Amino acid sequence: MPEFDPIIHQPVRLRIMAALAALSKGESMEFTFLRDALDLTDGNLGAHLRKLEEAGYVRLEKTFVDRKPRTFAELTAAGQRAFDEHVRALKDLIRSAE
Amino acid sequence: MDPSQASESLALIEQAGNATRRAMARAGAGYQFIIWGLVWLFGYLGTQLLENEASGYLWLMLDCFGVVASAYAIIRLSRRVRSPGAWKFGIFWLLLLAFGGLMMWVVWPLDAEEYVLFITLLIAMGYALFGLWASTPLLIAGIVIAILAILGWHFLPTYLGFWLAFTGGGGLIGAGLYILRAWK
């Protein structure tokens, strides 16, 4: 039986995970691109990304593009598994209520 | 958690996934549509209005503009979304053009309208296949352009250049502007 993940369950983190899960395997998204796509503030996105990174669900890579610091985010394999399981748990709950 | 909260969570997931896909399509397909729409618009107007040689030079200049502008847009996007397999996209277009060249060699000679139709269908096929792989708007654009090209070739062969300039080129520009404005 799939289980709800308390880290992913938080709405902003759920949206971040869903956005990163929409990328193809191996792709990563720059911080400001993710912020604009989800309409979040820098502080809000940064705090939740750190939480997801601590859980091992997101990999953050800091790099320089045109001498400017950039942070790229992508789901880890563990993050993808946890997200898939969380989605399955949500669907199971809805199905069981029907 | 109750089922209504679960439904809300699934809706959030769908919205966030769509927002990401749209942001990527906007940064990718949106600008590509406008760049190549301009190339098609002026190129096919040239095909209709200019002598063959002048039209050929115009297409050459427009294609150079298209490749440079397109590469610039791709480089800008790659600074925001990193895709390790992106080099395959370039190989895809090179292979398509190479096979298109071979097919044209086999079926040559073609008259002017058939030549225009061949190139248009080849590029439309490229959009459709590439779209199937990377971006739904491109898939739709490829199919629509192919249908419009066949209709124009069948019903308006004398004005095929005008037809493709305004439906193909104008359509691509319109689609690009729509994506840039509506998918913010």
Q: Which fold has domain A6-97?
A: Arc Repressor Mutant, subunit A (1.10.10)
Please state, in angstroms and rounded to a whole number, the distance separating the CA atoms of residues B161 and A63: 48
Contact A14 B16 (CB under 8 A): yes
pLDDT (average), residues B46-59: 92
Q: Are strands A28-30 and A68-75 parallel, antiparallel or unpaired?
A: antiparallel
pLDDT of residue A1: 65
Taking alpha carbons only, the member of B98, B122, B94 closest to residue B110 is B122
Residue in chain B closest to A94 (alpha carbons) equals B3
What is each CA distance from B184 to B3, B22, B24, B67, B173, in whole angstroms? 31, 8, 11, 26, 17
Whether pLDDT at A31 is above 90: yes
Distance from the Cα of A55 to chain B's closest Cα (Å) equals 19
pLDDT of residue B135: 75
pLDDT digits (tens, 9 = 90+) for B119-137: 999 999 998 998 887 778 8
Tokens of B110: 């073609």
Tokens of B45: 């107007």
pLDDT of residue A81: 95
Residues of B in contact with A38 (CB under 8 A): 16, 19-20
Distance from the Cα of A62 to chain B's closest Cα (Å) equals 13
Whether pLDDT at B79 is above 90: no
